[in-house]
Amino acid sequence: MRTRVLPDYETMSAAAADVVASKLRKKPHAVFMVPTGTTPLGMYRELVARHEGDGLSFARATFFNLDEYLGLPPDHPASYHVYMRKNFYGRVDIEPERVHVPDGFAPDPEAECGRYEQEIRAAGGVDLCVLGIGRNGHIGFNEPGASFDSRTRVVRLAESTRRVNATDFEGDRAPERAISVGMRTISDSGEVLLLASGANKARAVAAAVGGEVSEEVPASALRRHPNVSFLLDRDAASALEGSAARRS
Ligand code: PGA
């Protein structure tokens, strides 16, 4: 496991875009799994800029999203369908048929989970999985307690997650449930890149990097992965000790 600490959010985002761009250069038809949330916005901005300025092309690549809220139609402003179109998929040369986001509005959510997992398999598996991390250590919407063996499934969101994500919704809570790829689905990726920015992630990052590997800290599962990097800004790395806090 590698830990890189960058001075601030902008340099962390540029470094994340470097990893994606370099994967694309080596393998233009690579399969990516990608996150939503506040953290990856800078990386998406950077990738869009490189597409517009340097002709970085996503035309042959395939994208899977990590999760989607259950019960939201794909045109709901707080859906991850809309987030992705607005911030990334709609702004680069991605082929729409190679974009996959779980359908949170599917009439049979369980069947949708099976279908999604099957699509990942049919694409040949994930080459690079980019993740954020929740303040409680979640990855995707795999909340504390999620089995390391889990696959794509319907999950119940932690109350703390619902409050943190409430700003996108009317009322003071995000939806109760979501579809999330599983811990095993993530671990099966060839390479994993976790991004974290800000002091409110410092405890979760320290627990994932330096604490016990435990289902109570989902991101700690990544320590068993043979090719994982944590890309942190200084604030997110502020609770790390010793060599794990090495500046890059
Ligand atoms: P954030 O979300 O990037 O909005 O902080 C990360 C996450 O919850 O995984």
Ordered by start, the domain boundaries in the chain are 2-230
Per the CB < 8 A criterion, the answer to whether 36 and 42 are in contact is no
- One of 68, 112, 143, 235 is an active-site residue; which one? 143
Say if residue 243's pLDDT is above 70.
Answer: no
Distance 133 CA to ligand 1 centre (A): 6
Closest-CA residue, ligand 1 atom 2, reads 37
Domain 2-230 listed as CATH 3.40.1410.10: no
Distance 141 CA to ligand 1 centre (A): 10
pLDDT in tens, 182-230: 999 999 999 999 999 999 999 999 999 999 999 999 999 999 999 999 9
Cα–Cα distance measured from residue 248 to residue 232, given in angstroms and rounded to the nearest whole number? 10
Pairing of strands 153-156, 177-180: antiparallel
Q: Which two tokens stand for residue 79?
A: 């859906």
Distance 56 CA to ligand 1 centre (A): 26
59-84 as b/e: b if 16+ CB within 10 A: eebbbbbbbbbbebeeebebbbbbbb
Distance 35 CA to ligand 1 centre (A): 8
pLDDT in tens, 77-101: 999 999 999 999 999 999 999 999 9
| Element spanning 228, H or E | strand 228-233
Which atom from ligand 1 is nearest to the alpha carbon of 198?
A: 5
Task: Tell me, yes or no, if 10 is annotated catalytic.
Answer: no
Task: Tell me, yes or no, if 136 is annotated catalytic.
Answer: yes
DSSP characters over 64-87: EESEEETT--TTSTTSHHHHHHHH
Predicted confidence at residue 172, as pLDDT, reads 85
Task: Tell me, yes or no, if 108 is annotated catalytic.
Answer: no
Q: What radius of gyration, in Å, describes the C-alpha atoms of the chain?
A: 17
103-136 as b/e: b if 16+ CB within 10 A: bbbbeebeebbeebbeebeebeebbbbbbbbbeb
Ligand 1, CB within 6 Å, residue ranges: 37-39, 132-134, 138
- The dihedral built from the CA positions of residue 156, 196, 43 and 78, taken in this order, carries a sign that is positive
DSSP characters over 46-57: HHHHHHHHH---
Which atom from ligand 1 is nearest to the alpha carbon of 161?
A: 8
196-to-61, 107, 206 alpha-carbon distances in Å: 25, 34, 11
Predicted confidence at residue 245, as pLDDT, reads 59
Say if residue 247's pLDDT is above 50.
Answer: no
Percent of the chain scoring above 90 in pLDDT = 95
Task: Tell me, yes or no, if 138 is annotated catalytic.
Answer: yes
